[in-house]
Amino acid sequence: MVTPAVSIESIQKQFGKLNALKGIDLTIEQGEFFGLLGPNGAGKSTLINLMAGLLKPTHGQIKVMGHDVQKDYQQSRQNLGVVPQELVFDPFFNVREMLRFQAGYFGRGPENDAWVDEVIESLGLADKANTNMRRLSGGMKRRALIAQALAHKPPVIVLDEPTAGVDVELRQMLWDFIKRLNRDGHTIILTTHYLEEAETLCGRVAMMKAGEIVALDTTENMLRQFAGKNLCLKLKGSLPASLLPMLKHGENNLFTLGLNELGQVEYALSELRKAHVDVEDMQLIEADLEDVFLSIVGKGSSA
Amino acid sequence: MISAQYRGVWTLFKKEVWRFWRVAFQTLASPVLTALLYLLIFSHVLEDRVQVYEDVPYTAFLIPGLMMMSMLQNAFANTSSSLIQSKVMGNLVFILLTPLSYLQLFIAFLGASIIRGLAVGLAIFLVSVWFVHLPIANLAWILVFALFGCALLGTFGVIAGIWAEKFDQMAAFQNFVIMPLTFLSGVFYSIHSLPGFWQTVSKFNPFFYMIDGFRYGFFGKSDVSPWLSLVVVMAFLVLLTWVTLKMLKSGYKLRG
Ligand SMILES: Nc1ncnc2c1ncn2[C@@H]1O[C@H](COP(=O)(O)OP(=O)(O)OP(=O)(O)O)[C@@H](O)[C@H]1O
Ligand SMILES: [Mg+2]
């Protein structure tokens, strides 16, 4: 059996009285592109910080590439690259210096410089490589932060909201680069609040809520099982009461109905006919991860 | 060529040295200037009135004390300010994410603070020997006290840097612990010139032993035996190192 990239066993984490993680079990295989989703405060970053050894678990065990993050922390950290959520930087140095230092902490020497340059190039940092970190724009700082996590070319890469506050161009660049690393065998773990990103990138996702994993499946299965399709209607008049159970959201005369199977379109239309409500416009839309997210994590919470 | 095993700690050491070297005006030039101002003022005021040891002019007497005081303050400043800054800025995470062990972390930070302390001390020496003749009775004692003094305060700085969460806590540490201890350590006088009570108080101040032992290296004269001073300094160094390693190992205030 191949060693999992990350294995998490009954992890609990308490901050004082707050139960931030209430027993997480999760195995992420090598080579996966894995999404960790959940509303603010769900515990995603806490879980990542536990993997990185920045926090100590109250209970449970985490292994990265088979190495316990507490007992064999040197090996486990050697295998892990983490992009922290907070935009932090060292104001004393420029981008290239920082990256070389970062690789150096992991024991990488001049033989690694070519890789550092590749990271700089691939994240569009080339013309900022000799700029002091302090003088970078917010988005550029974010790129440097991502680059720092990659400097030692870790097999397991964890990105905690890497696209917060970055422009379209970088997102494109970043995902091209990360997808390439994934194809080369690196395991990617991603948290993001942009669900369309997770949908296109992640092969498997876990949804977290209040310190628990509430759903865990391949992205494909999630989309199929939970969401079905959406029927968007523009009506002259209001929605008949018989269709209210299917209503996902509605405003003015625009209504979105969730469908579990296509046959329900026929039912909806016949109910409208019965109620003498005219249909001005109608559209059938594939459900996306956002629908799944809302149906699992609950309406009213945003991703 | 450094092997991969030691490259991590070497890199962190190098980074910590660069960090102060980049702002050398503030970290080296400014303490040297401060020490020279003390030298100028105190020697001008007291040269003809105070003689601590026979045959030793007051200005010459003052220099080793000022050197040591500056070395101690700067060794402390290097570790403590580096840690508190990276804690407040949040970039300490870059080091906490690495496989560096707590011992390696300590060695790298301490090494850099010793370098800064010695650099400041050497600079003050080189500038002041232009003005004043300074004998060197025993170089070995000079080096031993310089090295262990810087190590002791560098270690103390690590403790302060881990403990403090804000800049004002660190400032309080500087102003209420480090400054009184340095000024009441016999930099500007021999403790024999103090009233009995204050002599006794001074003997509880580890800074006194560092300065007294260091001065012995220059003049071959001191208030207490350099061996006693060495024992006191080493005892404190061992104690503080033990405390620091305990703190680092437990992840106190660094890994929640
Ligand atoms: N160091 C800490 N001390 C106390 N409470 C904490 C600490 N870190 C996180 N928490 C709490 O733990 C819970 C989970 O936080 P966490 O940062 O893991 O959420 P998240 O899923 O990453 O949210 P977001 O999407 O906003 O980043 C929150 O209620 C948070 O307030
Ligand atoms: Mg988070």
Find the CATH number of the domain harbouring A10: 3.40.50.300
Give nearest CA residue, ligand 1 atom 25: A40
Quickly state the pLDDT bin for B3 (edges 50, 70, 90): confident
The per-residue pLDDT for A169 is: 87
CA A160 to chain centre: 7
Cα A39 to middle of ligand 2, angstroms: 9
Give the residue-averaged pLDDT of A228-244.
86
DSSP state of A204: E
Q: Given CB atoms, is B250 within the 8 Å cutoff of chain A?
A: no
Q: Does A52 touch chain B (CB under 8 A)?
A: yes
pLDDT tens digits, B7-30: 999 999 999 999 999 999 999 999
- Per-residue pLDDT of B218-241, as tens digits, reads 999 999 999 999 999 999 999 999
Q: Same domain, yes or no, for A200 and A213?
A: yes
The ranges assigned to domains in chain B are 11-46+54-250
Mean pLDDT of chain B: 93
Is B13 within 8 Å of B108 (Cβ atoms)? yes
Q: Pick the residue with more confidence: A193 or A29?
A: A29
Give the model's pLDDT for residue A265.
Answer: 86
- Specify the number of domains making up chain A: 2
The dihedral through the CA atoms of A89, A93, A96, A98 has a sign that is: negative
**A164–B contact, CB cutoff 8 A:** no
Q: What is the pLDDT, as a whole number, of residue B179? A: 87
* Cβ-nearest to A107 among B8, B18, B93: B8
In a domain, A35, yes or no: yes
DSSP secondary structure string for all residues of B105-161: HHHHHHHHHHHHHHHHHHHHHHHHTTTS----S-HHHHHHHHHHHHHHHHHHHHHHH
CA distances for A147 relative to A82, A154, A227, angstroms: 10, 12, 36
Task: Write out chain A residues lying below 8 Å of B96, CB-based.
Answer: 52-54
Q: pLDDT class for A237, splitting at 50, 70, 90?
A: confident
Per-state percent for chain A, helix, strand, coil, to nearest 5: 40, 30, 30
Query: Do A215 and A74 sit in the same domain of this protein?
Result: yes
Q: Which domain holds residue A252?
A: 228-286
DSSP A29-84: -TT-EEEEE-STTSSHHHHHHHHHTSS--SEEEEEETTEETTTTHHHHHHTEEEE-
At position B171, the amino acid (one-letter code) is: A
List, in order, residues 6 or more apart from B53 with CB less than 8 Å away: B61, B190, B219, B221
pLDDT at A223 over 90: no
B104 in contact with A, Cβ within 8 Å = no
Residue A298 belongs to a domain: no
Which of A18, A189, A297 for mutating ligand 1's site (highest number of atoms within 8 Å of CB)? A18
Contact criterion met (CB < 8 Å) for A102 and B94: yes
Mean pLDDT of chain A: 92
Range with the largest mean pLDDT of A80-89, A213-222, B184-193, B196-205:
A80-89
Chain B residues near residue A92 by CB distance under 8 angstroms: 18-19, 22-23
Number of neighbouring beta carbons within 10 Å of residue A283: 10
pLDDT confidence of residue B1: 61
One domain for residues A256 and A149: no
Nearest CA to ligand 1 atom 3: A15
- Does A68 reside within a domain? yes
Cα–Cα dist A203/A225, whole Å: 15
Mean pLDDT within A204-216: 95
Largest CA distance in chain A: 76
Q: What integer pLDDT is reported at residue A252 of this predicted model?
A: 84
Residue A303 falls inside a structural domain: no
The pLDDT, as a whole number, for residue B45 is 80
Are A234 and A200 members of one domain?
Answer: no
Residue B254 distance to chain A (closest CA, Å): 8
Q: Which two tokens stand for residue A85?
A: 């959520």
| B89 neighbourhood in chain A, CB within 8 Å | 88-91
Average pLDDT over residues B82-100: 96
pLDDT over 70 (residue A45): yes
Measure CB to CB from residue A106 to each of B15, B98, B101 and give the nearest one: B98
Phi-psi region of B220 (alpha: psi -120 to 50; beta: other; left: phi over 0): left
CA distance A101 to chain B (A): 6
By C-alpha distance, which of A49, A6, A56, A3 is closest to A26? A6
**Is there a single domain that holds both residue A261 and residue A212?**
no
* B191-199 mean pLDDT: 85
Hey, which residues does A33 pair with through a beta bridge?
A188
Task: Name residues whose C-beta falls within 8 Å of residue A28's C-beta, 6 or more positions apart in sequence.
Answer: A4, A5, A6, A7, A34, A187, A189
CA distance B159 to B76: 10
Of B19, B91, B98, the CB nearest to A105: B98
Query: What was the pLDDT predicted at A290?
Result: 80
Burial of A51 (0-12, 13-18, 19+ CB in 10 A): buried
- The whole-number pLDDT of residue A291 equals 76
Lowest mean pLDDT of A122-126, A257-261, A280-284, name the range.
Answer: A257-261
Task: Tell me which of A90, A116, A132, A142 to substitute to probe the interface with B (most B C-beta atoms closer than 10 Å).
Answer: A90
| A300 within domain boundaries | no
Lowest mean pLDDT among A252-256, B31-35, B85-89: A252-256
Query: Which of A109-118, A285-294, B241-250 has the least mean pLDDT?
Result: A285-294
Assess contact for A128 and A97: CB atoms under 8 A. no
State the pTM of this model: 0.89
pLDDT at A259: 82
**Domain check: are A273 and A160 in the same one?**
no
The C-alpha atoms of residue A124 and residue A126 are separated, in whole angstroms, by: 6
Instruction: Note whether A216 and A234 are same-domain residues.
Output: no
Nearest-by-Cβ selection for A92 from B14, B22, B93: B22
pLDDT at A167: 87
* Residue-level pLDDT at A303: 53
In a domain, A293, yes or no: no
The pLDDT, as a whole number, for residue A295 is 75
CA A19 remoteness from chain centre: 22
Contact between A40 and A25 under an 8 Å Cβ cutoff? The reply is no
How far apart are the CA of B132 and the centre of ligand 1, in A? 61
> Bigger pLDDT: A269 or A188?
A188
Report the distance separating Cα B230 and Cα B216, nearest Å.
Answer: 11
How many angstroms separate the CA atoms of A180 and A33, rounded?
11
In terms of domains, do A245 and A262 share one? yes
| pLDDT tens digit sequence for B100-155 | 999 999 999 999 999 999 999 999 999 999 888 999 999 999 999 999 999 999 99
**Domain presence at residue A237:** yes
What is the CB neighbour count within 10 angstroms for residue B242? 11
pLDDT at A39: 93
Q: What is the pLDDT of residue B231?
A: 98
User: Is there a single domain that holds both residue A217 and residue A233?
Assistant: no
Nearest CA of chain A to the CA of B109: how many Å? Answer: 13
pLDDT confidence of residue A297: 79
Most B-contacting residue of A75, A85, A105, A152 (CB-CB within 10 A), to test interface: A105
Q: Is B10 an interface residue toward A (CB < 8 Å)? A: yes
Output the ligand 1 site: residues, CB below 6 A. Answer: A 15, 18, 20, 38, 40-46, 85; B 256
Which range among A87-91, A247-251, A296-300, B58-62 has the greatest average pLDDT?
A87-91
- A93 contact residues in B (CB cutoff 8 A): 15, 18
- Shared-domain flag, residues A203 and A239: no
Which of B7, B95, B99 lies closest to A74 in CB terms? B99
Shared domain check, A192 and A115: yes
Min Cα–Cα distance to chain A from B8, Å:
4
Determine the residue among A21, A78, A92 to mutate to test chain B binding: the one whose Cβ has the most chain B Cβ atoms within 10 Å: A92
Which residue's CA is the closest to the ligand 1 atom numbered 28? Answer: A41
Model pLDDT for residues A115-166, shown as the tens digit of each residue: 999 999 999 999 999 999 999 999 999 999 999 999 999 999 999 999 988 8
**pLDDT (average), residues A155-184:** 93
Nearest by CB: A55 against B10, B11, B256: B256
Rg over alpha carbons for chain A, rounded to the nearest Å, is: 23
Sheet of A33-37, strands arranged across = A80-83, A156-160, A187-191, A33-37, A204-209, A212-218
Q: What is the pLDDT of residue B235?
A: 97
Residue B98: pLDDT over 80: yes
Nearest ligand to residue A193 Cα? 1
**Are A274 and A200 part of one and the same domain?**
no
Mean pLDDT of A279-302: 76
Least confident of A49-58, B35-44, B160-169: B35-44
Residue A83's φ and ψ, nearest 5 degrees, are -95, 110
Which residue's CA lies nearest to atom 30 of ligand 1? A41
Q: Which residues of B touch A112 (CB under 8 A)?
A: none
Phi-psi region of A65 (alpha: psi -120 to 50; beta: other; left: phi over 0): left
Task: For residue A49, give the ligand 1 atom closest to its CA.
Answer: 18
pLDDT value for A136: 95
* Confidence band of A301 (pLDDT split at 50, 70, 90): low
Kindly report, residue by residue over A72-115, the tens digit of the pLDDT: 999 999 999 999 999 999 999 999 999 999 999 999 999 999 99
